Amino acid sequence: MQKTTGLLASSLIKLKNLQLTGKLVSEELMLGIHSSKRSGIGIEFEQYRHYEPGDDPKRIDWKLFARTDKHLVRESSTESDRQIRFVLDLSGSMNYTENGVSRLQYAQIVLASLAYLCYIQNDQMSLYGLTQGRVETISGTGAASSARQAFQKILVGLEKATAAGSWGTPVLNQPRRGPAEFQSKKKEQLIFVSDLLQTNDEWLSWIRSLAGPYREIAIFQILGDQEMEFDLKGFYRFKDLESEQEIELDAETVGAQFRTSMQSYLAGLKTALQIPHVRLVRARMSDPVGMVLKAFLTRRKG
């Protein structure tokens, strides 16, 4: 199947600049994307187009011009004080790599791009990491923080993020529900990026514990092509990236069973996540990031 054109993660990684990467993907999205009733990123996502002769200069987004040096006309305008919380899975399986792109790198690009969108919309945002049973604050948002400061802090946090160990073993006296700010009764959105590969139901239980009328959860499940298709042949040494255990198998012999198990797991997980205030978005690491985010931003909720 031919892939939709767009910026591939492998090309974006070569830039070695997460801020530029997020900006490029986001600007690709800003032009020609029509708002849905609710975009899922803070305020309703605004459609921008280039300024044309005859347009009222007052409709130019001058703040955006100062950041991008482009005269763009804002099609709609909505204010929001909603908090956006980005949550990144930092368990060892995020180090899984295909074609020179790790799952963690793909996740970093997704979150950098969404953070840039929040920045130009002046949304409140913060970043958290999940590892070893902990929900750790990587970059919080203080009351006096500007959108630019929050964006820069998130970029630094993303660039420094490393993945190791598992999420499945909680630390004593560390609540899985997260830091105190996760208990807020204000409207907020939690954007979670992970592979959602679990030993038992640890990810599912955590998501269910957080979803509610005050908190919408958007989950980006990032998977590799081989994780989905497993069309390998010959003997391979497979390594569990969380437990470090290794096993050598004839891939062709176990391939059919693996594909059946994976499809069964993914179907069951999709069904289990069909709960109020939760939305699942699946992406492959070979999918252009802009294509994945465009589908997320433009899809109308039922």
CATH classification at residue 277: 3.40.50.410
User: Is 207 a domain residue?
Assistant: yes
Task: Give me the mean pLDDT over the 55-81 stretch.
Answer: 68
**Dihedral (C-alpha) 279, 285, 286, 289: value to the nearest 10 degrees?**
60
113-130, pLDDT tens digit by residue? 999 988 887 888 999 999
Report the domain count for the chain.
Answer: 1
Place of tokens 């999709």: 270
143-173, pLDDT tens digit by residue? 556 788 889 999 999 999 999 988 775 543 3
Residue 9 binned pLDDT confidence (cut-offs 50, 70, 90): confident
For 242-283, the DSSP string reads TT--EEEEEHHHHHHHHHHHHHHHHHHHHHHT-STTEEEEEE
User: Is 47 a domain residue?
Assistant: no
pLDDT of amino acid 142: 59
User: Is 235 a domain residue?
Assistant: no
pLDDT of amino acid 145: 66
pLDDT surpasses 50 at 4? no
User: Is 255 a domain residue?
Assistant: no
For 70-132, the DSSP string reads --EEES-------EEEEEEE-SGGGG-EETTEEHHHHHHHHHHHHHHHHHHTT-EEEEEEEET
Our separate counts of H helices and E strands in the chain read 9, 12
Domain carrying residue 219: 9-27+81-226+272-296
How far apart CA 104 and CA 98 sit, in angstroms, is 11
197-214, pLDDT tens digit by residue? 888 888 888 898 888 888
User: Is 102 a domain residue?
Assistant: yes
User: Is 118 a domain residue?
Assistant: yes
212-224, pLDDT tens digit by residue? 888 889 999 999 9
